[in-house]
Structure formats: structure tokens, C-alpha cells
Amino acid sequence: MDTRGPLCVGIDPHASLLSAWGLKDDVDGLETFTRTVVDALAGTVAVFKPQSAFFERFGSRGVAVLERAVADLRGAGALVVMDAKRGDIGSTMAAYAETYLRPDAPLFSDALTVSPFLGYGSLEPAVRLARENGAGLFVLALTSNPEGAEVQRAVRGDGRTVAATMLAHLAEENAGQTPLGSFGAVVGATLGDLSSFDLDVNGPLLAPGIGAQGATPADLPAVFGAAVRNVVPNVSRGVLRHGPDAAALRDAARRYADEVRAAVAS
């Protein structure tokens, strides 16, 4: 991010976005869309976050498109955060971890989004495999969807919210790591003042919600406070809507990265 700019671009091939690009909502449209984004941005954007669901809906052929995109993005020096939000227990969680965090797996990614709401301890197989293979996790903590509050802001018997508990677990995972640990939280950029939460987990904070969801780079300092230096701001439609023109995609990504850099430095 220091080299390429502080930005994560989501690869979210919604049916409506494919249509806006003049593409059919089929595997060929998916492949053209994905290839265009990868070719235009892989060499200049720091981080990409493909949303697995939009590829999975086309079955094995859609997953094959995702596999190629992940390999090409990483081959171009970018980081890949697989947005799959996996969460389960025991051997099932271990199998999910092997899908995305084992180096010889076709979908091996630099990090994976995971859901801790079967209990943080249920993530242990993913935590262990990420540590072994130099990868990371982004754990759902304070998500931007309104429904999330009923679970994430629920108060436990010890007086802490569920979200605060997850953040505390991540701080423990990252203790003593420099310059940052590899276990981060997903925290929505649309949530306003979060000063009641300790977001300084000594790890990265993946921040969706910039662009189409209403947040702007200028909002980041107010939302994240001193932890803003660790934010990985994600923009999806705000960049992708400028396609299929490659130059327009690059210009949009560059503008967002410049705006984030200015906001964080101010």
C-alpha cells in the first residue's frame, strides 16, 4: 500500500454491473469483466477483494474464472483478500481454511474474510493455517449492514459487546508483532463514530462502504480515529462503474487512493 497507494478494489461482478458494461449475465460475461479488471489494475492497485459468491453462482466454470484471477493478481504483485466470509466448526472450518490458505490450493489468497459468530475459537483452524503459510484473516467485527448490530453490539455477561470481544481476541493474536500482525477486523466505513471501541488491534482494518454505500475517504479519520493508519479502505462499484474502459478504471482507482492518502495524512 505504501508503494501502490492505500486502496483495496473489490471485484464484485453483480448482474447489474455486467449489464452496465454491456455484458451478458453468464460465464462469458463474468470472464470478460474479470479479465478487464485484472488487466487494467493488477499492476497498480495494492489490494483486491474478489467476492466469491458472484463467481460461485456460475458453478465450476465461475470458480475457474476466480482461480485464474487470483493467480494473475498475485502474479502481478498485488495482494488478494478472498471475501468468502467462511465460518464453521471443527473439520469443516479446517476444510474451508485449506481451500483458501494452503499454498498449493487453486484459490490460495493472502487473506480470507471469516465469520466468528460460532465463537472466536471456531476459527482456530484458519488462524493456525494462516500463521503457517504467511497469510492473514479479516474477522467480521463491526459490519456496515444495519442487521449486524443485533449480534455485534449485543452485550455479553461480562459487560463487553460481542464486537469488542472479537477485537480483543485479534489484539491477542497480534501481540508483539511488528509493524503489524496479520489478523485484522472488518469494520464498516459507514458506521460513524466508533470511539467506544478499541480498534487498535495491531492489525489491519478492512473498511468496506466507501463509494456506492455512501462513505467517502474523508470520513475515515472520524470513524477510525488513531487506528486510521491501519485501514485498508475498500471501494468496489465506485471504481468498477467506470469500466469497461481500462484507462477510466485506472483513473478512478488512482483518485480514490489519492483521496485516502490525503484524508489519512490530514
When pLDDT is cut at 50, 70 and 90, the band that residue 265 belongs to is confident
Q: CA-based angle 68:73:74, to the nearest 5?
A: 105
pLDDT tens digits, one per residue of 219-244: 999 999 999 999 999 999 999 999 99
Rounded CA separation 192/149 (Å): 13
pTM as predicted = 0.97
When pLDDT is cut at 50, 70 and 90, the band that residue 190 belongs to is very high
Rounded CA separation 248/253 (Å): 9
Rounded CA separation 7/258 (Å): 9
Q: Which of 14, 35, 85, 131 is catalytic?
A: 85
Full set of structural domains in the chain with CATH: 8-265 (3.20.20.70)
DSSP character at residue 105 = S
What is the Cα 243 distance to its own chain's centre?
21
Beta strand 111-114 with 8-11 is: unpaired
Rounded CA separation 183/66 (Å): 24
Q: What is the pLDDT of residue 258?
A: 96
Tell me the three cell numbers of residue 5: 497507494
Q: What is the pLDDT of residue 214?
A: 84
Q: What is the pLDDT of residue 212?
A: 74
When pLDDT is cut at 50, 70 and 90, the band that residue 134 belongs to is very high
Determine which helix (DSSP H) or strand (DSSP E) holds 128, and give its type and residue range. Answer: helix 124-133
Residue 266 has pLDDT above 90, yes or no: no
Q: What is the pLDDT of residue 28?
A: 98
85 is catalytic: yes
> For the residues 128-151, what does the mean pLDDT come to?
97
Share of the chain above pLDDT 90, in %: 97
Rounded CA separation 214/70 (Å): 28
Share of the chain above pLDDT 70, in %: 100
pLDDT tens digits, one per residue of 3-58: 999 999 999 999 999 999 999 999 999 999 999 999 999 999 999 999 999 999 99
Average pLDDT over the chain, rounded to an integer: 97
> For the residues 129-142, what does the mean pLDDT come to?
98
When pLDDT is cut at 50, 70 and 90, the band that residue 213 belongs to is confident
What is the Cα 189 distance to its own chain's centre?
12
Q: What is the pLDDT of residue 171?
A: 98
Q: What is the pLDDT of residue 211?
A: 83
Residue 250 has pLDDT above 90, yes or no: yes
